[in-house]
Structure 1
Amino acid sequence: MYKLLRTHSGIGLLSICLAVAGCKVPAMMSSTENKAAPGTYGNNPDTTTNMSVIEWRNFFTDRNLVNLIDTALKNNQEMLITLQEVEIARNDIRSRHAALLPTVNARAGIGVEKVGRYTSQGAGDATTEIAPGKEFPDPLMDYNVGVYANWEVDIWNKLHNAKKAAVTRYLSTVEGKNFMVTNLIAEVSNSYYELLALDNQLAIVRQNIDLQKNALEIVKVQKEATRVTELAVQKFQAEVLNSQSLEFDILQKTKETENRINFLLGRYPQEITRDKSSFLNAMPPAVNTGIPSQLMANRPDIKKAELELMAAKLDVKVARAEFYPSFGISAGLGFQAFKPSYLVKFPESLLYSLAGDLAGPLINRNAIKAEFYNANARQLQAMYNYERTILNAYFEVSSQLSNISNLEKSYDLKSKQVDALTRSIDISNDLFKSARADYLEVLMTQRDALESKRELIETKKQELNAVVNIYRNLGGGWK
């Protein structure tokens, strides 16, 4: 009767504990992310053709650039670091999966115990014989060998949700790697076009130096003929020196750009193989943007943000499950005796155990509440980051479309400007020789022509970079 009452009281106490543990569990916050996007990119015509589906080896036609990108994707240290982050996330999945399975350990041990004779155990051992005429040894040795297991039954899906969150974060790191690929391709390409632009600017500056030196010799001859003063000679000399100084500035920028490309390729400085002659004739690929909703599937950073939001939602479920009691099962099987020879005696030395327990928080719930509220806050952060990433992607494409359109118009006008100023150089020289133009007009014409040619090259570089950037902004390069 006493045992029955004790059993009922234990069950009642356990029920009270579980009721207290399960009450007042905070509700999960419901949040719905905004995935809406405009139907088109402003005035851009509605089309489903999207240039991001083009594989990067086919998008870039310059074989030298293709080789540089291929080397960067293999050797870039930041890319290799990102790949290790993917591996870390993959190992986290294994860790979360292992938590779902029982833990089984083998154990063997030896110990010694000496109890006082005037204790209940010592008095009992003194009066008990293990065999006729044989008392318990004093001190008492303890030998054991066995297998022990523990398993937490995932009754609230806490462990399963934690594993799902780990899988989702692994997938987000893969998308992060893909986003790294698109950025790396764009960075190498933009630096390569900058290098070509500097090469062409250097060639123009050197041509201009030769032209200015010829003009300087003419001015010197005219000074000897008293047609001009020493002031004109010094003005022309200063212009030559200024152009020569500009040449070294371009050489320094060229070196820095080469070093930047080599750094992206993960190698020490070496010459960048390139074709310097075809820069101004390079035709960028046709721009086809598709529709904004395609960004959701093509942009790795959007997919990464979406996966991080999914993982954050699972984290909230895991944190909420901490309020509920956990159910664990433990078991053991082995042999135990105070003498090694007795270990093999069966069933006298057999040891086994099986127990189940429910454990839940009763008093110290503040820490669990804090983690739950933090998980909710991180979920909101992930949702806002997802919405911001979509918004940012749309504006990046929209801005580059406007940039490409304006650069095309600007390039056409600058080409006409260069043609006009190139013709004006010959005209100003002829007028100066016939004393119908001032030397300052010749100087200004040469200076304007040089500046317009440099601006034309800079505009061509910006035009090529804009196409590369919109290819990246649309999600191209990683597929």
Structure 2
Amino acid sequence: MKAVSALLLGVALTGCVARGPRRDPPATATASVPGGWRTPVANGVAIAGDWWTAFGDPVLTALVERALANNVDIAIAASRIEEARAAEALARAQLSPQVGGSLPETQGQTLSPFGTPSRAIGAQPGITASFDLDLFGRLRLASRAARAQLLATAAARDTIRLATAATTASGYVTLRALDQRLAIARATLAARSDALRIARRRFETGYSSRLEYRQAQAEYAATAQLVPAAELAIARQENALSLLTGDPPRAIARGRALDRLAIPAIPDGLPADLLRRRPDLYQAEQTLVAADLTLDSQRAAFLPNLALTGTAGVVLSTALSDPVALFSLGASVLAPLFDGGRLRAQENAATARRDQAAFAYRRTALVAFREVDDALAGVQRTGKQAEDLAQQAAAASGALQNATNRYRAGYSAYIEQLDAQRNLLTAQLSLVQAQTDRLTSYVALYQAMGGGWTRPVPTG
């Protein structure tokens, strides 16, 4: 099965490398991460459980850890593991002897040689045992398939944990970006308010036309609507993060500003086998193993089955002077002769499920490489874009200062200052978006790499 998995992974790798006020909670609030996050997976490695600390924000770290501790989807996944563990125990129990006891009681009448009836009371305690020899491994294969399914279920839980951590980190970055947009909107609104005051005074004294005054009014109103829009987006983002952390809608603590979050370093030449740490890839692999073992178990059902049975007991009765010991030992051979095609249909269904699992494993590997490549491209392109936009914002800020000085000195019309303000606002908002996209690309890369790109220390 390992050879099949390696072959499929090799094929996949080809060609790829109305709302009340909120009170902010204390920024130091923390929550413990549930045990088992670093669940051992393929090749004895472990999922990196603290990649979100690379951004250097303690508030972000506390928020992600709270989500991992309280998220409802993770709790549901944990209960599915318990269900799979019970199914494995049930399959393993089929390999053990089955022992039972009985204590039937009888009452009746007996006749003496002289024809005199008498009442007799008796009991026959006994023990029965049966054991399936499993000559062709049908039960052993089913037990191993249940074990593989348990591992796949555990990997599914780790997939949900990784997605929860990534979504929480991205949501926090988005929240800080919205805070930055709100700050830009308020600063621009203050500048527009000052421009509106100057335009009104110039209009009232006859130094400018009504057109300039109306333009200033329109620009002030256009900027003012950005503030409640940003506040609404912030409230909704806080609610989304509260849902991830398993809490009712609440205010979310803030840490570092968007442009103060650390940028993790990415080493060159990342090995492709790091992707084997991805829990979804390991889940697909174990699902394929379980399907393959189930197919072998279905094929073993065509072969004869040998079972041993035995009973031992004693007969106790008032009609007997001494107890009578009884025992029996036997064997039964059961072989399918004619079942109307039931076993053949079950084998065909198991074969189809095995093929589906094989294709799903290959698709998961291909998706993994696509996600890594997309995230790497996002990190590189958005980083360059953010640098260019930072230069544009700096130039636009200087142009606005020059336009404002010229307008106040009477050397230019108000439209020149207005265009400079618009350009600066657009550049600032675009810069915030590029910084957000860059940080979320790092989060996506962490998720695509199964929790990071550092080789963990082998466990065990």
TM-score, length basis structure 1: 0.82
Aligned equivalents of 2:223, 2:300: Cα separation in 1: 73
Aligned equivalents of 1:289, 1:334: Cα separation in 2: 75
Aligned equivalents of 1:109, 1:86: Cα separation in 2: 41
Q: Does the Cα contact within 8 Å between 1:107 and 1:146 map onto a contact in 2?
A: yes
Aligned equivalents of 2:349, 2:51: Cα separation in 1: 42
Which position in structure 2 is the counterpart of 1:308?
287
Which position in structure 2 is the counterpart of 1:46?
none
CA spacing shift, 1:297–1:203, aligned 2, 3 Å: same
Q: What does residue range 2-401 of structure 1 map to in structure 2 within 5 Å?
A: 33-36=7-10, 38=13, 55-56=50-51, 58-110=53-105, 131-134=112-115, 143-275=123-255, 278-288=257-267, 290-336=269-315, 339=317, 341-342=318-319, 345-347=322-324, 350-401=325-376
Aligned equivalents of 1:251, 1:35: Cα separation in 2: 47
Which structure is larger by alpha-carbon Rg, 1 or 2?
A: 1
CA spacing shift, 1:55–1:419, aligned 2, 3 Å: same
Moved more, 159-168 or 427-436: 427-436
The CA RMSD over aligned residues, in Å, is: 2.7
Query: Shift of residue 294 of structure 1?
Result: 1.4
Aligned equivalents of 2:161, 2:4: Cα separation in 1: 32
Aligned equivalents of 1:429, 1:194: Cα separation in 2: 33
SS in structure 2 of the partner of residue 34 of structure 1: helix
Query: Shift of residue 58 of structure 1?
Result: 4.4
CA spacing shift, 1:344–1:311, aligned 2, 3 Å: farther
Q: What code does the residue aligned with 1:306 have?
A: E
Q: Does the Cα contact within 8 Å between 1:205 and 1:246 map onto a contact in 2?
A: yes
CA spacing shift, 1:38–1:333, aligned 2, 3 Å: closer
Q: Does the Cα contact within 8 Å between 2:52 and 2:169 map onto a contact in 1?
A: no
CA shift digits 1:189-208 (9 cap, x unpaired): 00011111111111110010
SS in structure 2 of the partner of residue 436 of structure 1: coil
TM-score, length basis structure 2: 0.85
CA spacing shift, 1:161–1:380, aligned 2, 3 Å: same
Aligned equivalents of 2:322, 2:212: Cα separation in 1: 118
CA spacing shift, 1:136–1:186, aligned 2, 3 Å: farther
Q: Does the Cα contact within 8 Å between 2:121 and 2:319 map onto a contact in 1?
A: no
Moved more, 32-41 or 305-314: 32-41
Q: Does the Cα contact within 8 Å between 1:172 and 1:303 map onto a contact in 2?
A: yes
Query: Shift of residue 174 of structure 1?
Result: 1.9
Moved more, 413-422 or 262-271: 262-271
Equivalent of residue 430 in structure 1, options 383, 395, 405: 405
Query: Shift of residue 235 of structure 1?
Result: 2.0
Aligned equivalents of 1:436, 1:134: Cα separation in 2: 141
Counterpart check, 1:457 vs 2:438: no
Higher relative contact order (CA 8 A, sep 6+): 1
Q: Percent of aligned positions with the same letter in both sequences?
A: 26
Query: Shift of residue 320 of structure 1?
Result: 0.5
Which position in structure 1 is the counterpart of 2:23?
none
SS in structure 2 of the partner of residue 241 of structure 1: helix
Q: Does the Cα contact within 8 Å between 1:220 and 1:233 map onto a contact in 2?
A: yes
Q: Does the Cα contact within 8 Å between 2:275 and 2:449 map onto a contact in 1?
A: no
- Name stretches of at least 5 consecutive residues in structure 1 with no aligned partner: 1-29, 43-51, 114-124
Q: What code does the residue aligned with 1:257 have?
A: Q
Equivalent of residue 387 in structure 2, options 412, 415, 425: 412
SS in structure 1 of the partner of residue 125 of structure 2: strand
Aligned equivalents of 1:202, 1:297: Cα separation in 2: 42
Q: Does the Cα contact within 8 Å between 1:38 and 1:292 map onto a contact in 2?
A: no
Counterpart check, 1:471 vs 2:443: no
CA spacing shift, 1:58–1:231, aligned 2, 3 Å: closer
Q: Does the Cα contact within 8 Å between 2:57 and 2:261 map onto a contact in 1?
A: no
SS in structure 2 of the partner of residue 335 of structure 1: strand
Query: Shift of residue 79 of structure 1?
Result: 0.8
SS in structure 1 of the partner of residue 8 of structure 2: coil
CA shift digits 1:199-229 (9 cap, x unpaired): 1111110010000000001100111122322
Q: Does the Cα contact within 8 Å between 1:292 and 1:394 map onto a contact in 2?
A: no
Which position in structure 1 is the counterpart of 2:22?
none
Query: Shift of residue 248 of structure 1?
Result: 0.7
- Name stretches of at least 5 consecutive residues in structure 2 with no aligned partner: 18-46
Query: Shift of residue 429 of structure 1?
Result: 1.6
Which position in structure 2 is the counterpart of 1:16?
none
Aligned equivalents of 1:421, 1:94: Cα separation in 2: 68
The total of aligned residue pairs comes to 422
Aligned equivalents of 1:346, 1:58: Cα separation in 2: 77
